[in-house]
Chain A
Amino acid sequence: MIRALALSTRVAFAISCNHFIYFLKKLPWLGKKIPDTAYQISTIKSILSILVETARVLFGFLGAALSLAIFIFGPMFLLDRNLMNMDLFYHYFFFIYFLAAPFLNTIILQTRDMQAYTMINLLKLDKRDFFVSKVIFTLGIKTARYLLIFLLLSLFTNISVPESLMLSGYILFLALIWEYLLLKIYLKFKTIVYDKVVIVLASPALLLVICYLLPYRGIVLNLRGVLANGFLFVMTALLAGFSFWRLYSFDNYSTVTKETINRNKLLGIEDLLKNAAFADVNLAEEKLAQEETNGADDLQGYALFNHLFFTRHRRIIMKPVRTKVVTVTVLALLGWALLLFKPGFMDPVRENILSLSPYLIFFMYLLSSGERFSRALFFNCDRYMLKEIYYKNKEALLENFTVRLKKSISLNLAPAAAVAILLLGTGVIIGMGGAITRLLPMVVTIFSLSLFFSTHYLFIYYMLQPYTADLTQKSPLYSIVNILIYFISYGSIHIKTSSVVFTFAVMLFTLVYAAAAIVLTYNLAPKTFRLR
C-alpha cells in the first residue's frame, strides 16, 4: 500500500514536471535555451516537483476557499449581510457538502482516468493498492485543506476550533461513505453514476435551488445542533470507517477497471479532445456529399478545387455568419420596438448615438468569423495539402490566398451590412432626418473594421500557421496575437474622439494594415505557410 502510494505520487510528480518542461520548451525564446536533457536531470525535476506541487496545493487551497466563499459566505452576505449567522451557515453546509458535492467528486469510479490507466495498465500496480492509496491521499489532502480553512475562519467568524475539526471530519466521512455507496451502486446495477450526465448535473442543481430557496422564503433548517451532536458525528465516523474497510477489503477492482479505464474509451477521449478544437469546423461525410456542386464542370485546377471546397463546406462556413446576422437583426428589431413603444428611450439614444464609434471595434471583433474561417481551412483542406510541393508552390499559394481573402471579405460583409442597417434604421426611428448623414462616418467605420478583421485573421494564419498535422496548436505567438487583438478591441471602447476623426483613423489603419498584410503574405507566405 505504501509502495503504491509512493510510486503513484512519484509518477504523478514526474508527469506534472514533464508537462511543465514541455510547456517551457514551447515558449518562444526561453524554450530554445532548455535542453532536451532537462527531462532527465533529477535536480531540475526535484525542484520543479516541489514548485508544481506547491502550486497545486496552493491552488487546491484557494479553490476550496473560493468554493466556500461562493456557495456559502457569498449567499449568506447577500441574504442578510451577516456572516455570523451560524444557523444559515450550517443549512448551506449541509446541503452543499453533505448532499450536492458528492455528485461532483469521485475517486474510484472515474471513467477515463488517465492516472489509473497509467498506474494499473502500464505500470501494473495492484488495483486495490492503487485505489485505496489514492483514496487516502486525495481525501487526506482534502481534509487537511478544509481543516486549515475552517481554523482560519474560526479567527473571525463564529466557527469554533472544535467545530472546525468536526466540519472537516464530516467532509472526510461523507466522501468515504459516498465512495463506498457508488461502488455498491455500480456492483448492483452496473451503472456508473458519474456517466449519467443528467444525474450529475441535475441533482446538484436541484439541491442548490432548494438550498438557497428555503432561506429566501424564510426557512432555515436548524442543523447546527444536529450536526454538532456527538452521537451523529460518531455514527458518521463509524459508517465512514466501515465504508473504508469495505473499500479496503474489496477484492474485485478488476470489474471496475474493465469499465472505467478501458483502452478504447481512453483513446476515444484523446481523439475527441484533440479534435475538440476543430469540432465546429468538421463536417460528416454524408453532409459533405449532400451539397450540390453545380458549375464545376468547366473548372480546372485551383478554380475547381476552391469551388468544390467552398461549396461542400458551405454549412460550416455560412453557419456563424448566419447566426451573427440573425443576432444583429433580432437586436435591431427588439431595439426598434422598444424605441417605438417607449419613446422615452429616444432622448438618451439621440444624445449618445454619435459617440458610439469606439464600441464598434469590439462589436465588429465579436461579429468577425475570421478565426473560425482559418480553422476550417486548415482542418478540412490545408492539413492534407500542405505536404504537397505543387500546393506549396508560390503561384498556387498566392492564388489560393487571393480566393480565400475575397471569400473572407464577402463573408464578413453580411454582418457588417446588418450592423449598418441597425444603425441607420435607429437614426430614422429617433427622427434624425437630414442629420442622418452624420451617421455615415460610422457606417464607413463598420465596413472598414469588417475589412480589417477579414484580412487580419487570414494574414496571421498565413504568417504563423499555428497547427500541426495531428491538430495540436504549436505557436504560442498565434495565441498571443489573438489575445492582443481581443484586448485592443476591448480597450478601444475607452477612446474619446469625434466620430469623423475616429473613422478616418480606422480607415487609414485598415488600408495600411491590409496593404501591408497582402504584401507580406505575397513575399513571406511561401516560407511561413507550412505544416508545423
Chain B
Amino acid sequence: MKLILDNVEKSFGDKKVLKGASFTFEQGKIYGLLGRNGAGKTTLFYCIRNDLQYEAGSISFQGKEDGQIEEQVGFVYTEPLLPEFLTGHEFLRFFISANEKRIKNPRSITEYFEMIKFADDDRHRLIKGYSHGMKNKIQLLTVLITRPPIILLDEPLTSFDVVVALEIKQLLKTIKAEHIIIFSTHVLQLAADLCDDIVMLHNGKLKGIDPDLLDKPEFEENITRMLSEKESD
C-alpha cells in the first residue's frame, strides 16, 4: 500500500501553505511529520482526508484519487471531538453499529476498553465530564476499532500522561505492519523514538530525512538547522 502525494498546492487567501508537496508514504512504517508552527501539517492532513480542497496536484492511494480515499483514512485530532451527551460506553456502542461494515474483526466493547486501559468506573460516565486525555484515548480507540489503512495522528500524545503515552506508542508499533501511520509532532524526541522515518514539512514542501540520521547525536541540531532555513536558501 502506498499513499502518493504529488505536487499538492494549497493556499488560504494570499498565503500559500503547500507549494507542491510530494512524498510517497508506504505501508508498515510510522512516519513522523515534523514542521514548525503554522508550517501546514494539519492542512496537509485535511487535504489527505479531503476535508480541504487543494488547488493543484494529486493525492492517490491504491489507484484511487482525491475524494475516493477519505473512507480509508482514520484521523486523530489534537482536540478530541466527541458527542458529550453520550457515555463512553454508549458512544462505542453507537460507533461500532454505525461503522459495522468497516470493522473486520469486531470485539466486545469491554475488550476495546481494555485495549486502551480505560478504567471501569469511567466507562458509564458522560463524555462531557472526561478529561482531555480520556477523550483522546476514546478518539484513538475509534481508529483502532475500524483500522483504516491510513492513520493520521495530529499531535495526539501531548495530552497523555507518560504511562499512557508509552502504552499508545507500543500499540502503534504493534499495528503498524498493516497501516500507513503518519504522526505529526513538534517533539523531536518523540519522533526519533517512535517513528521509522521522518518527513519534514518546510516552506510548503515535504522532504524525507535520512533514517540513519535518527540515531546520530547531532540529529536534533541538524533538524533544527533544516527547519530554520529560509525558502531561498
Contact = CB atoms under 8 A, between A and B. Distances in A.
Interface in A310-339: 312-313
Contacts of B73: 389
A139 to B, nearest CB: 41
Contacts of A384: 81-84
A380 interface: yes
Interface string B65-103: 000001101010100011111100010011001111010
Interface string B11-44: 0011100000000000000000000000000000
Contact of A288 (B99, B100, B126): B126
B14 A308 contact: no
B106 interface: no
Nearest to B50: A389
A381 interface: yes
Contacts of B186: none
Contact of A289 (B14, B93, B126): B126
B128 interface: yes
B99 A387 contact: no
A381 to B, nearest CB: 6
Interface residues of B, number: 27
A407 to B, nearest CB: 15
A390 B83 CA distance: 14
Contact of B85 (A35, A312, A391): A312
A245 interface: no
B63 interface: no
A389 B70 contact: yes
- Prevailing SS type, chain B contact patch: mixed
A272 interface: no
Contact of A308 (B49, B90, B129): B90
A36 B12 CA distance: 9
Contacts of A385: 81, 83
B8 to A, nearest CB: 20
A469 B49 CA distance: 18
A390 B75 CA distance: 12
A373 B179 CA distance: 41
Nearest to B12: A36
Nearest to B129: A285
Nearest to B80: A384
A156 B73 CA distance: 76
Nearest to A531: B51
A42 interface: no
Contacts of B77: 387
Contacts of B128: 285, 288
Contacts of A312: 85
Contacts of B82: 384
A302 B49 CA distance: 23
Interface string A13-56: 00000000000000000000001110000000000000000000
A505 interface: no
Contacts of A305: 83, 86, 94, 98
A302 B98 contact: yes
Contact of A304 (B14, B85, B90): B90
Contacts of A264: none
Interface in B151-171: none
A35 B13 contact: yes
A309 B85 contact: yes
Given A285-B128, A384-B82, A390 B99 contact: yes
A308 B97 CA distance: 15
Contacts, number: 66
A308 B70 CA distance: 28
B177 to A, nearest CB: 24
Contacts of A308: 85-86, 90, 94
Nearest to B13: A36
Nearest to A383: B81
Contacts of B15: 36
Contact of B81 (A288, A296, A396, A469): A469
Interface in A274-322: 285, 288-289, 296, 300-302, 304-305, 308-309, 312-313
Contact of A313 (B70, B75, B85): B85
Nearest to B51: A387
A312 B87 CA distance: 11
A289 B85 CA distance: 8
Nearest to A32: B13
Interface in A183-240: none
A35 B98 CA distance: 43
A304 B94 contact: yes
B98 A301 contact: yes
A390 B98 contact: yes
Contacts of B102: 390
Nearest to B148: A389
B47 to A, nearest CB: 15
Contact of A387 (B14, B81, B85): B81
Nearest to B14: A36
Contacts of A35: 13-14
A381 B83 contact: yes
A469 B100 CA distance: 27
B85 A381 contact: yes
A452 to B, nearest CB: 29
B51 to A, nearest CB: 8
Which residue among B49, B51, B85 has the maximum number of chain A CB atoms within 10 Å of its CB? B85
Contact of A380 (B14, B85, B90, B93): B85
A171 to B, nearest CB: 46
A510 to B, nearest CB: 32
Nearest to A396: B98
B40 to A, nearest CB: 16
A304 B90 CA distance: 9
Interface of A: 35-37, 285, 288-289, 296, 300-302, 304-305, 308-309, 312-313, 380-381, 383-385, 387, 389-391, 396, 469
24 contacts: A288-B85, A288-B126, A300-B93, A300-B94, A301-B98, A302-B94, A304-B90, A304-B94, A305-B98, A308-B86, A309-B83, A312-B85, A313-B85, A380-B85, A381-B83, A381-B85, A384-B82, A385-B83, A387-B75, A387-B81, A389-B70, A390-B99, A391-B98, A396-B98
Given A37-B14, A300-B97, 17 more contacts: A36-B15, A285-B128, A285-B129, A288-B126, A288-B128, A296-B90, A304-B94, A304-B97, A308-B94, A309-B85, A381-B85, A383-B81, A384-B82, A385-B81, A387-B77, A389-B70, A390-B98
* Closest CB pairs A-B (n = 5): A300-B97, A36-B13, A301-B97, A36-B14, A384-B81
